[in-house]
Amino acid sequence: MGAIGYYLFYAVNWTITLLPLSVLYLFSDFIFIITYYFPGYRKKVVKTNLKNSFPEKSEAELRQIERNFYKHFADLMVEILKLRNMSDASQLKRYTFSNTEIFDKLRSEKRDVIGVLGHYNNWEWPTLLGQKIKYLSIVIYKPLKNKYFNRFMNDQRTKDGLKIAPTSMIIRDIINYRKQKINTFSVFIADQTPPGNELNHWTTFLNQDTAFYTGAGKIAAKYDMAVVFLNIQKKKRGYYNMDFELLFDHTTGIEEKVIIEKYVRRLDEQIREKPEYWLWSHRRWKHKRPLPDA
């Protein structure tokens, strides 16, 4: 996407997303038909991921999960685009938060906190997160290759005061805020595939050998940060709840891989409960665990 294409997309998106979600979901129904049937979007990737993750399920069960995933995926596309024209009142009605009281004690102790979650349900809507938990909240992101779409997504994420930081800059930002005596809640969407030179932690995830980033665990342990799992659940179409689960109160002396492993086990459990809400179109298993030295 070049500059002209970006501004055209921006203008069209701005205009269309003035429509209420009830109307936009009609577009979602059409997107579902296109992505699932004609000609389909990454169907082979989705089918392979599901089959390898759930070998115990029948073909009929896998097809149902696949179909439900594409329906949710179409809704997610519309919801992400709608974010630009959502009021705070509408967001707070459609995206609620529970168990926020765990932050009261951490805040009273002036503790920094790490948040971990996966690409599960709608992870883009909680731009009012910092206001609800009264922490300076930072979402760590991996910059997109297309600079224009990267700008579009970042503008949406920061529209309500949420901070963002690329993975390469988060430690610098945390240190700077600590010097200013500002406590932070740094959120890692930690189920992305590490590049080939960062395959430091291998584990079993969804029945497969899987590499995970260890950055969240490394930072938490270094600065004795609490670790919280962000459990996003879909209540009904267009309505979500984010529940906060404390995984670690203190992390000093705990190995970073132990921290990451607890997150992985919780994410695995979450996905197995309602698998259609995870991002199955992602090429998550493109790397293979290296064979042990002979």
Q: What pLDDT digit, counting tens, does each position of 68-80 carry?
A: 999 999 999 999 9
pLDDT value of position 294: 43
- Give the tens place of pLDDT for each residue, 122-138: 999 999 999 999 999 99
**CA distance to 213, 215, 276, per residue, from 222 (Å):** 16, 11, 36
For 154-278, strand residue ranges (E) read: 163-166, 184-189, 201-205, 208-212, 226-236, 239-248
Task: Please indicate, yes or no, if residue 163 is contained in any of the structural domains.
Answer: yes
Q: Classify strands 184-189 and 113-117 as parallel, antiparallel or unpaired.
A: parallel
Q: Quick one: pLDDT band at residue 218, thresholds 50, 70, 90?
A: very high
Q: Quick one: pLDDT band at residue 292, thresholds 50, 70, 90?
A: confident
Q: Please state, rounded to an integer, the average pLDDT across all residues of the chain.
A: 94
Instruction: For the chain, give the percent of residues with pLDDT over 90.
Output: 81
Residue 195: pLDDT over 90: no
Range of the domain at 108: 3-277
- Give the tens place of pLDDT for each residue, 1-19: 577 877 788 898 889 999 9
Task: Please indicate, yes or no, if residue 294 is contained in any of the structural domains.
Answer: no
Mean pLDDT of 31-48: 93
Task: Please indicate, yes or no, if residue 284 is contained in any of the structural domains.
Answer: no
Task: Please indicate, yes or no, if residue 269 is contained in any of the structural domains.
Answer: yes
Task: Please indicate, yes or no, if residue 59 is contained in any of the structural domains.
Answer: yes
- Give the tens place of pLDDT for each residue, 226-260: 999 999 999 999 999 999 999 999 999 999 999 99
Task: Please indicate, yes or no, if residue 97 is contained in any of the structural domains.
Answer: yes
Contact (CB, 8 A) for 277 and 120? yes
Task: Please indicate, yes or no, if residue 13 is contained in any of the structural domains.
Answer: yes
Mean pLDDT of 201-210: 96
pTM value is 0.94
Which of these, 189, 191, 211, lies nearest to 201 by C-alpha position? 211
Number of domains in the chain: 1
Residues in a beta bridge with 245: 229
Task: Please indicate, yes or no, if residue 24 is contained in any of the structural domains.
Answer: yes
